[in-house]
Amino acid sequence: MDPLVHSFKTDISNIELPSQFNYPFYYQPHELAVLAAQQLQAYLEQQYQWFVANGTQEAGKMFGVLVVQDEKRNLGFLAGFSGKLGGETTQEHFVPPVYQLERVDQFFKQETDKLDAVTKQIAALENDPVNIQLIADYNAKAIAQTESLEREQERIKAIKRERRRLLKREKAVMETEAFKSFEARQRQLSLNNNFFLKEYEVYLEDKIATLKNQFESLQLELENLRSKRRKGSLWLQDWLFDEYNFLNARKETQNVKELFKNRIPDVPPAGTGDCAAPKMLQYAYAQNLKPITMAEFWYGPSPASKVRSHGNFYPACRSKCEPVLEFMLQGLDVEDNPLLENPAVDKELDIIFEDEHMLAVHKPAEFLSVAGKSITDSVQTRMKAKYPNATGPMIVHRLDMSTSGILLVAKTMEAYHHLQQQFLKRTVEKRYVAVLNGHLEKESGFIDLPLRVDLDNRPCQLVDFEFGKSARTRFEVIERNDHKTKVHFFPITGRTHQLRVHAAHVDGLNAPIVGDDLYGTTDSRLHLHAEQIIFEHPLSRKRITLNVPAPFDFTA
């Protein structure tokens, strides 16, 4: 058998094969994929050069397993990794990259060596003590010049203000002809001041002209080198994409640039085709192996930004892999995309409060707050159908589709604006109840982790202290058992997936919410419920408190 097709070390004779290949962007791993992943993880545990301090691979990484069947119907599995492992694109035990290694690696190394040489030139210029001193001297002189000019401008402005007051006083006491002469002299003095200011600005510029020329010359040299590196990198990436020709189950071939041609953006993101899934499928098709089922898992430490737990299974990334896998899976019998199925069918919205201005509903889990791209059934569409004479958007705030709980709905535009302002000013008090996978030691606390969307894997969010939006949550422990913790969450801000990320992230509570299929592991449902809300009624201005108990239990 092919040395890269690994035999199962456990008896799999009684395991039934899946009837369809799993949809890679939302799946429960098949038993065969779980066994393959466990076997691969056991192999990784024996590779002492990786995932240790000062090793060749310290950071965690996404790995994949693809269960395959050969022409004699023998089962085995392929193993793959995303990107590089230990700084290399190829490693023993794992499938190779999609492109032709012999042709690409030598040329790619030559070109990357050129780019590395440019990077070294940039670093040499930036770290040169003479240049460091030049930049410091110029910045100090430029700041001093600006401050001197601003002081002189303020002095002349003060003189002008005093001159206007003087003209006003003298006009009241002087004869007309005498005042005209006086006013002309003052106007000339003002022109003299303006001329002096321009001359002073030229004088200050001349003082640092030599230093400025040296500084600008250095900046131009650095920018030219950075531009050269940037253009070279883009050219090399484009050249490399010409080598990414993917196969599908029908043995058809398509280049990666063609796969992205009619998408936005129409250029493949860097790293497209280097994930585990396309590499494993490419190898299977090339070796006449039939894909049976696939799974990807994270191994090693969690990254600083994303929520990744050691050993957990994750779906394929969308921005890089969706166009590629849509093509590569053609010819296979693949499960339907469950995300296109309406999960709210046969679910009802219970009205827990209503008057002529507004109402509040209990939204079940797996029910959209507003219509999505593929599924239109939502709280918003049902409310508009139920109240055709209502004005305004109606939905004042949102809950994640998987989160159950109280949702406020406005019947009039006036009520909508009043309620919306309360959310914007954060005067609405919200309390969520959640069950976490993990034992929290602290009784209460505060989480402050800024969030932004993961551009490679929407709708997931990631922690980003540079570009993320402020996201703050207070929590209190209600109850514990050996494996789980029940908590109250009090969100101060209302970012997408805020409570889910704050619970799961290693710098948050490091305990994902039970049933979180994005940041933890799946269960019967997401155990997160918006159980209480306190707000001001849009007409009476009275504070109203609404409660709906959580529809899930806290059990061991």
Q: In the chain, pLDDT over 90 holds for what percent of residues?
A: 67
Beta-bridge partners for 38: none
CA separation for the pair 70, 208 (Å, rounded): 75
> Do 415 and 356 touch, CB atoms closer than 8 A?
no
**pLDDT, position 56:** 67
> Do 54 and 25 touch, CB atoms closer than 8 A?
no
Two tokens, residue 16: 């039934």
**pLDDT, position 62:** 94
**pLDDT band for position 553 (cuts 50, 70, 90):** confident
Two tokens, residue 244: 């990414």
- The answer, yes or no, to whether residue 77 has pLDDT greater than 60, is yes
| Greater model confidence, 283 or 1 | 283
- Respond yes or no: is residue 346 known to be catalytic: no
Beta-bridge partners for 175: none
CA separation for the pair 445, 427 (Å, rounded): 21
**pLDDT per residue over 354-365, tens digit each?**
999 999 999 999
Query: What rounded mean pLDDT belongs to the chain?
Result: 91
- The answer, yes or no, to whether residue 100 has pLDDT greater than 80, is no
**pLDDT per residue over 478-515, tens digit each?**
999 888 999 999 999 989 999 999 999 989 999 999 99
Contacts of 94 (CB under 8 A, 6+ apart): 4, 79, 80, 81, 85
**pLDDT band for position 102 (cuts 50, 70, 90):** low
Residue-wise DSSP of 43-93? HHHT-TTBSSTTSSB-S-EEEEEEEEE-TT--EEEEEEESS-BTTBS--TT
pLDDT (mean) for 126-135: 94
Amino acid at 229: R
Neighbours of 373 (CB within 10 A): 6
**pLDDT, position 486:** 94
> Do 362 and 350 touch, CB atoms closer than 8 A?
yes
**pLDDT, position 237:** 83
**pLDDT band for position 314 (cuts 50, 70, 90):** very high
CA separation for the pair 418, 395 (Å, rounded): 12
SS3 category, 484: strand
pLDDT (mean) for 261-278: 85
SS3 category, 529: strand
> Do 468 and 454 touch, CB atoms closer than 8 A?
no
- The answer, yes or no, to whether residue 463 has pLDDT greater than 70, is yes
Instruction: Tell me: cis bond preceding 3? Omega within 30 of 0 counts.
Output: no
**pLDDT, position 104:** 72
Select which of 400, 454, 464, 517 is catalytic: 400
User: In terms of DSSP bridges, do strands 429-437 and 528-536 run parallel, antiparallel, or are they unpaired?
Assistant: antiparallel
Two tokens, residue 544: 């109203």
Q: Which pTM was predicted?
A: 0.76
CA separation for the pair 77, 54 (Å, rounded): 31
**pLDDT, position 1:** 67
**pLDDT per residue over 16-68, tens digit each?**
999 999 999 989 999 999 999 999 999 999 988 887 777 667 788 999 999 99
**pLDDT per residue over 318-355, tens digit each?**
888 999 999 999 999 999 988 888 888 889 999 999 99
> Do 290 and 275 touch, CB atoms closer than 8 A?
no
